Amino acid sequence: MGGLANRMRAMASGLALVRSINSELIHYRVVWRENADLRASFSDLLDPEPWASLAEIIHPGALAYSAMYEPPRRRNLYLSAPFQALCGGALFDGGKLSSYRSIPQSLVHLVSSRKETLIGSGCVFYPFDDSELRTLFKPSARVEVVCQEWTSRFTANTLGVHIRRTDNAMSIKHSPTDLFVDEIAKWMESHGSQARVFLATDDEPTKAELTYRFGQQLITNTREASRTTLEGMVDGAAEMFALSRCASIIGSHYSSYSEMAAAIGSVPFRQLYV
């Protein structure tokens, strides 16, 4: 669910940028595309109420997205170039946008001087206070129901663990499971019978191994992780919010998912890596 965490960061960045200029004079529109990375609408996963007065959230179809918002390239026959030219030239990650990241005020000046600006990003492109995340992003009702399946079993001494495997080579290479096993064992020893561990992972063998090792003190999603169904997306979002309600979080290298959970919950966080 890194796709969700990255979108949340980009949305918070855009809002911070708008507010730094004059939020009353700027119409902030968020383009939310359902694709292979995230097969769910905004309201499937997140509560739209906090955003009702802040932004217009639109869900373009595949053709509209290709013709208007995707970077102009051979894959979309450069169809989006005319529309983006009307915006004064779009800013995209890895392109023009990167030159503004180190000097936020230059981005403010650029946006202020244009009638429209299209920014394509899945990362932080303008600084914001993490405390904003706790106000802006709440789970949808559907996600909250799933989240409470797990959090109802939490104690005050619940350790959140995020082990990313199937789609992140850097996490696999630098955050081996043994590191997590050692940290969980230390947590169990320190907190005794009140210790609990909430495990969020996209890897079924890892889930089976840790369940075998730590038994009833380990809480995890018993359904198989899936990135191809809405149910799988809901479970993934629920795991993020469940992590945010833990006492502490340990996560995988090169993954924004557990970082976002820690920021939402204002929870101590460490990445484990070698």
In this structure, the answer to whether residues 163 and 101 fall within a common structural domain is: no
pLDDT at position 36 is 87
Chosen domain end from 74, 106, 135 = 135
Give the integer Cα–Cα distance in Å for 84 and 68: 7
Q: Could you tell me the strand order of the sheet in which 157-163 lies?
A: 218-220, 195-201, 157-163, 248-252, 269-272
pLDDT at position 254 is 82
Q: Are 30 and 57 in contact (CB under 8 A)?
A: yes
Number of domains in the chain: 2
pLDDT at position 255 is 86
In this structure, the answer to whether residues 160 and 58 fall within a common structural domain is: no
Looking at the predicted structure, is the pLDDT value of residue 82 above 60?
yes
Q: Which residues contact 98 (CB under 8 A, 6 or more apart)?
A: none
- Give pLDDT tens digits for 231-272: 999 999 999 999 999 999 999 988 889 999 999 999 999 999
pLDDT at position 99 is 85
Which domain does 46 fall in, by range? 2-135
pLDDT at position 101 is 84
Residue 89 CB neighbour total at 10 angstroms: 13
- According to DSSP H, which parts of 137-176 are helical? 141-151, 169-174
- Give pLDDT tens digits for 147-182: 999 999 999 999 999 999 877 778 878 899 999 999
In this structure, the answer to whether residues 20 and 79 fall within a common structural domain is: yes
**Structure tokens that stand for 206 in this block:** 């890892």
In this structure, the answer to whether residues 74 and 95 fall within a common structural domain is: yes
Chosen domain end from 84, 117, 135 = 135
Chosen domain end from 74, 107, 135 = 135
In this structure, the answer to whether residues 155 and 224 fall within a common structural domain is: yes
Among 40-49, 91-100, 182-191, 229-238, the least confident range: 91-100
Exposed e or buried b per residue across 119-148, where buried means at least 16 C-beta atoms within 10 angstroms of its C-beta: bbbeeebbebeeeebeebbbbbebbeebbb
Give the integer Cα–Cα distance in Å for 24 and 54: 10
CATH of the domain at 256: 3.40.50.11350
Looking at the predicted structure, is the pLDDT value of residue 2 above 60?
no
Going by pLDDT thresholds of 50, 70 and 90, the confidence category of residue 134 is very high
Cα–Cα nearest to 162, from 21, 262, 265: 262
pLDDT at position 1 is 42
In this structure, the answer to whether residues 109 and 211 fall within a common structural domain is: no
Q: Are 93 and 123 in contact (CB under 8 A)?
A: yes
In this structure, the answer to whether residues 99 and 145 fall within a common structural domain is: no
